[in-house]
């Protein structure tokens, strides 16, 4: 991918490295919005962050030895990277919503919960 040629162009690129969707999601354009978002997430190899069937990494690594029960838990080094990527996807989703839709999903904390909430809103 070529680097943006101007600061305005650079500012318009999402955290995923893609341009934002052409229209923010409203109550009337869910299918078009969804197609654009899924395409962007697949292109960034991040679509698994909105899949409720994918289980996140554990925050702590399992103990190496059962005899070491007194040892403090060891943080999974991949966990923080996963959380950071999830938050990028969450931000991408939230910034692609109209104010009307976005205000209904402000309590979400992960990309998967945001996606589920958006799908429930569209179904109703």
| Short-list 64, 83, 86, CA closest to 74 | 64
Query: What pLDDT digit, counting tens, does each position of 9-36 carry?
Result: 444 555 566 667 888 999 999 999 999 9
What mean pLDDT is predicted for residues 71-100? 92
Q: Per the structure block, which two tokens stand in for 16? A: 């995923």
Lowest-pLDDT range, 41-45, 49-53, 70-74, 89-93? 70-74
Q: What is the pLDDT of residue 56?
A: 81
The beta strands (E) that lie in the chain are given as: 60-61, 74-75
Judge whether 75 and 60 are in contact, CB under 8 Å: yes
Categorize the per-residue pLDDT at 92 as very low, low, confident or very high, splitting at 50, 70 and 90: very high
Q: Per the structure block, which two tokens stand in for 73? A: 């838990």
Select the more confidently predicted residue: 52 or 93.
93
Q: Per the structure block, which two tokens stand in for 5? A: 């040629």
- CA angle 118-120-123, nearest 5°? 110
Asked whether residue 68 carries a pLDDT value surpassing 80, the answer given is no
Select the more confidently predicted residue: 19 or 7.
19
Judge whether 51 and 112 are in contact, CB under 8 Å: yes
């Amino acid at each position: 991918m070529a680097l943006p040629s101007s600061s305005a162009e650079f500012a318009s690129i999402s955290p995923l490295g893609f341009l934002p969707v052409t229209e923010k999601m409203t109550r009337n354009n869910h299918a078009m919005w969804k197609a654009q978002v899924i395409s962007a997430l697949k292109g960034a190899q991040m679509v698994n962050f909105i899949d409720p069937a994918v289980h996140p990494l554990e925050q702590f690594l399992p103990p190496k030895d059962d005899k070491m029960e007194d040892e403090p838990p060891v943080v999974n080094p991949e966990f923080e990277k996963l959380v950071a990527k999830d938050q990028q996807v969450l931000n991408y989703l939230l910034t692609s919503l109209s104010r009307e839709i976005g205000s209904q999903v402000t309590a979400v904390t992960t990309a998967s919960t945001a996606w589920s909430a958006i799908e429930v809103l569209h179904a109703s």
